[in-house]
Amino acid sequence: MKNSRIMNKQVFKQALMLLKQNRFFSIISIGCTAVTITFVMVVYMVYDLRTTDMAPEMFRSRMIYSGQGYSYRTIDHSNASGGMSEHTAHVLFDSLLGVDLVTYYTSLVKYPCSALSDGADKRRTVRFADATWFKVMKYNFISGRAFGKEEFDAQRKVAVISEQTARELFHTMDAVGRDIQVNFLSYRVVGVVANVSSLFTKAYSEIWLPLSVSSNKVYDDGSNGLRGNYLAILVRSRKSSETEVAKAVDKRVNQLNSSQPDFIFNLDGYRKHTQEMFFQNKEISAPLVFALLIAILLIIPAINISGLMQSQIRHRAAEIGVRKAYGASKWVVLNQLLTENFVLTLIGGMLGLLFSYVALFLSQLWLLGGADIISGSLGLTGRMLLRPSVFVVVLLMCLLFNILSVFVPAWLASRKVITDAIKGE
Amino acid sequence: MKMILKQLWNQRRANAWLFMELMIVFVLLWFTLDVAWNYLRAGSYPKGYDTENVFDVRIERNPILEKDPAVRSHSKEYLLEIYRRIGEYPGVESVCYYAGSKPYTDNSMFQGYSVEEDTAKVYGAKIRYISSSYLDVFQVKLLEGSRTGWDEQQHPSAAFITASLSDSLFHGKAPLGARFYDYYARKYGSEETTYRLSGILPLTKLDDYARYEDFIYVPLDAHILEYAVPYFAIRVRSDLVSGFPDRFMREMKSRLNMGSFYLSEVHSYDEMKQVYDVEQGTTVYLRLAFSVAVFFVFIVFLGIMGTFWFRTRQRRGEIGLRIAVGSSRFGVMWLLFNEGLILLLLASIPALLIAGNIVYADLTINTLTDFSAGRFLITVLATYLLMLLMLFAGCCYPAYQAMHISPAEALREE
């Protein structure tokens, strides 16, 4: 054990020497690795930032999103229209087995907003939701609280607003108890939460209002009361699976349709978080697509370095031959070549990680801003970007890349017969 | 030529890696360009209406004032007055209002149509209810017919339809004035809606990145203004476009405040397109395709440069000898280029076979543009071009070094 450590140290020293001697090879190898790791890490971070459980979206891995659904006339399939009413939503999703939390909401809207005292109105993002919303999304309350079930049921005009909204409208963070005008209606502020990065496409908003006071409910009577603008998020329990929940919901849809003959309601699918974030399509598996992309991004430059490595090893055939003549095993030679190159890979990898942060920051809007959010800044913070898992992944990617790019030529070299190697054949 | 092949064969170990890389990258690069083509080709076709210099003026309702029946009863007059005032604003070349399918939004409206001769067949089309000035604002060039009498409520109502819808409805070319009717309105609605073919629309699509669809434009019945707010669109003189939304908002906010209506936002259609492209993922797909293409190209560049650099170093003696016996320095450079070129050509043969199989297996992305021999030819040529560029760029430095080998030194080393 101790021996091998001394050995590794020596290998390391030699690697640095080699790096200086073969300056051209080193530059190409490091450049290649840096570009590779930049692309790989950008792809990884886009996936990671969109899908990892991270406050306020703490339950991403267990969330199931309802579609908006659509309904049509049973006899001739005419009058097809999208949307799900409050009643339909409750019938389909209330107290399902294997589901911990159910919350109902509508898609983001923009409304003119102002503090009652001054008339300046700026359009702000508003989310209508029920009281459970604040159990599903773990907001950081700076002051006040979320609105509760009683307030929701009693259709109280209350609001939760973001820190920035509070500061811009009331010039203070402590806006609890003040009145805010949203789309010309007055609401009492009950809570102020820390700003939410628009990276969290579901949790993000500037103002949250009770869905029970939404004026949009007037559309509820279309297609025999099936149509509306409700959406649902289910948080499944740890023990249940998506398919189980999907089956249970399907059963409810069938019950609903058999109870009213004139119209048929079709839920139009439910999606896991990864499906909701990418492609919005059940047929494409986002993890698979991302893994494939990363594999391609790693393998092609690895072929590149393999080729160069082989040319370089040929120059050192004699050295390797001598080592073997003095008793170095195949594995020792292999290990030496892998370790030597890992120094280069690490240098390239660190550069790559740095570049990937720059790239991610510069192109955050088109890489990460989707759905409802397209302008301004996403409000990415260091806490989101510099998580330990990112560094573990970059290290793993470097290791993988190193093995991919050195293994074949090193294996070939280590198998060479000693005399051939020394002769240089 | 024979000599180059022999050289390549002699160095087959080192060449095998480069060969493999060129082959794989050729296929992937071609596929990436083909994906981009799917979007870009579709985006290059005209939409059937022109949104350049066109702005969307959003009028909304104050829900509190709207509750007052006295205010509500004047909705139509207010909206027509708003329409008139928007048109008077300096720089506004033309103004229109319309409803139904709106570009760069998910608001689209669909209707089914039939002819009396064959009442069983229904043909669907996207519908737009327009004032006749829509043709000015969006510069729609009718292939046939005119808008005469469009804004006077006529029976049967005038209608413009796309040629393909006309072909399906009337089984071929129909004369202007031919009749057809709204299938579902007749089936469920109270009023009968018969239309008179009064013009043929150019090929039309709802979004830049979409396929052409059947469209129908019919007059917007002024009664609708009593309970609904239409979309207002204006064409602005091109020299006044910059800064227009802010200027308009500032100067018109109070003038357009009538009854329960107020001016909420002004956006150019170009801006709406950008937002919509991001929402639809088109922006991501296109930029991702180009980033990945740049990645492949750069990796190939490094690969070629590295391999040939090693090669010139290994073959110093040979190159020195060539120069010594009278080969010109450019001749030496050409030798390297040619080696790379032949390697690329050889690698592209299996690559093309693979690409051909991908096409044959229908694995290309054809959501917006159909696959065609021309598309294959263009994307393959573009791939060759990019790879060639990288070949030359990658050979430059090693070749430059080879050119400057001093024959005496090189031969002494041997």
Residue at a domain's end among B222, B246, B266: B222
Q: Give contacts of A290 with chain B, Cβ < 8 Å.
A: none
Q: Which of A18, A25, A37 is nearest to A354 (CA)?
A: A37
- B316/B406 Cα distance (integer angstroms): 9
B134 and B40 in a single domain? The answer is no
Say if the Cβ atoms of B307 and A307 lie within 8 Å: yes
Say if the Cβ atoms of B307 and A311 lie within 8 Å: yes
Say if the Cβ atoms of A307 and B281 lie within 8 Å: no
pLDDT in tens, chain A (425 residues): 445 555 667 767 777 777 777 788 888 899 999 999 999 999 999 999 989 998 899 999 999 999 888 888 887 777 777 888 888 899 999 989 899 999 999 988 888 898 875 555 788 899 999 999 999 999 999 999 999 999 999 999 999 999 999 998 999 988 999 999 998 889 999 999 998 888 888 899 999 999 988 765 545 456 677 888 899 999 999 999 888 998 999 999 999 888 887 888 888 778 888 888 887 666 778 889 899 999 999 999 999 899 888 888 877 777 778 887 888 788 888 888 888 888 889 999 999 999 999 998 888 877 876 545 555 567 777 788 888 899 999 999 999 999 999 888 888 888 776 666 666 54
Within a 10 A sphere around the Cβ of B106, how many other Cβ atoms?
A: 11
Identity of residue B1:
M
What are the percentages of helix, strand and coil residues in chain B, rounded to 5?
Answer: 55, 20, 30
Nearest to A306 among B17, B28, B264 (CB): B17
- A277/A268 Cα distance (integer angstroms): 17
Say if the Cβ atoms of B279 and A370 lie within 8 Å: yes
Q: Which residue of B has its CA nearest to A186?
A: B64
Q: Which residue of B has its CA nearest to A30?
A: B302
Say if the Cβ atoms of B299 and A304 lie within 8 Å: yes
Q: Give the pTM.
A: 0.86
- For residue B66, being part of any structural domain is answered with no
Range(s) of the domain holding residue B369? 2-44+280-413
- For residue B21, being part of any structural domain is answered with yes
Q: How far is B351 from chain A (nearest CA, A)?
A: 15
Selected residue of A79, A300, A355 to mutate for chain B interface (largest B Cβ count, 10 A):
A300
Q: Give contacts of A219 with chain B, Cβ < 8 Å.
A: none
B285 and B408 in a single domain? The answer is yes
Segment A130-139, tens digit of pLDDT: 999 999 999 9
Q: Give contacts of B17 with chain A, Cβ < 8 Å.
A: 303-304, 306-307, 310
Residue at a domain's end among B156, B190, B222: B222
Residue at a domain's end among B203, B222, B241: B222
B218 and B294 in a single domain? The answer is no
| CA dihedral angle for residue B245, residue B246, residue B251, residue B257, rounded to 10 degrees | 70
Selected residue of A38, A184, A306, A363 to mutate for chain B interface (largest B Cβ count, 10 A):
A184
Question: Could you tell me how many helices (H) and strands (E) chain B has, helices first?
Answer: 14, 11
Q: Are A127 and A102 in contact (CB under 8 A)?
A: no
Segment B231-256, tens digit of pLDDT: 999 999 999 999 999 999 999 999 99
- For residue B176, being part of any structural domain is answered with yes
Nearest to A24 among B278, B284, B309 (CB): B309
User: Which residues are A210's β-sheet partners?
Assistant: A129
- A414/A334 Cα distance (integer angstroms): 6
Selected residue of B299, B401, B413 to mutate for chain A interface (largest A Cβ count, 10 A):
B299
What are the percentages of helix, strand and coil residues in chain A, rounded to 5?
Answer: 55, 15, 30
- For residue B356, being part of any structural domain is answered with yes
- What ipTM was estimated for this complex? 0.82
Beta strand extents in A131-240 (DSSP E only):
141-144, 158-162, 179-182, 185-193, 207-210, 231-236
Q: How far is B303 from chain A (nearest CA, A)?
A: 5
- B98/B228 Cα distance (integer angstroms): 11
Give the total number of structural domains in chain B. Answer: 2
- A66/A249 Cα distance (integer angstroms): 10
Interfacial B residues in 31-60 facing A (CB < 8 Å): none
CA atoms within 13 A on the CB side of A13: 5
Beta strand extents in B72-152 (DSSP E only):
92-100, 110-115, 118-130, 144-145
B288 and B409 in a single domain? The answer is yes
- A422/A154 Cα distance (integer angstroms): 89
- For residue B118, being part of any structural domain is answered with yes
Q: What is the pLDDT of residue A85?
A: 87
Question: Could you tell me how many helices (H) and strands (E) chain A has, helices first?
Answer: 16, 14
B287 and B216 in a single domain? The answer is no
B364 and B286 in a single domain? The answer is yes
Q: How far is B235 from chain A (nearest CA, A)?
A: 25
- For residue B164, being part of any structural domain is answered with yes
- A269/A69 Cα distance (integer angstroms): 8
- For residue B60, being part of any structural domain is answered with no
Q: What is the pLDDT of residue A372?
A: 52
Q: Give contacts of B259 with chain A, Cβ < 8 Å.
A: none
- B230/B223 Cα distance (integer angstroms): 12
- For residue B255, being part of any structural domain is answered with no
Interface contact B341, partner A, CB < 8 A: no
* A-B Cβ pairs (cutoff 8 Å, strict): 99
Q: How far is B111 from chain A (nearest CA, A)?
A: 10
Say if the Cβ atoms of B306 and A183 lie within 8 Å: no
Segment A88-130, tens digit of pLDDT: 899 999 989 899 999 999 988 888 898 875 555 788 899 999 9
Say if the Cβ atoms of A370 and B303 lie within 8 Å: no
Interface contact B291, partner A, CB < 8 A: yes
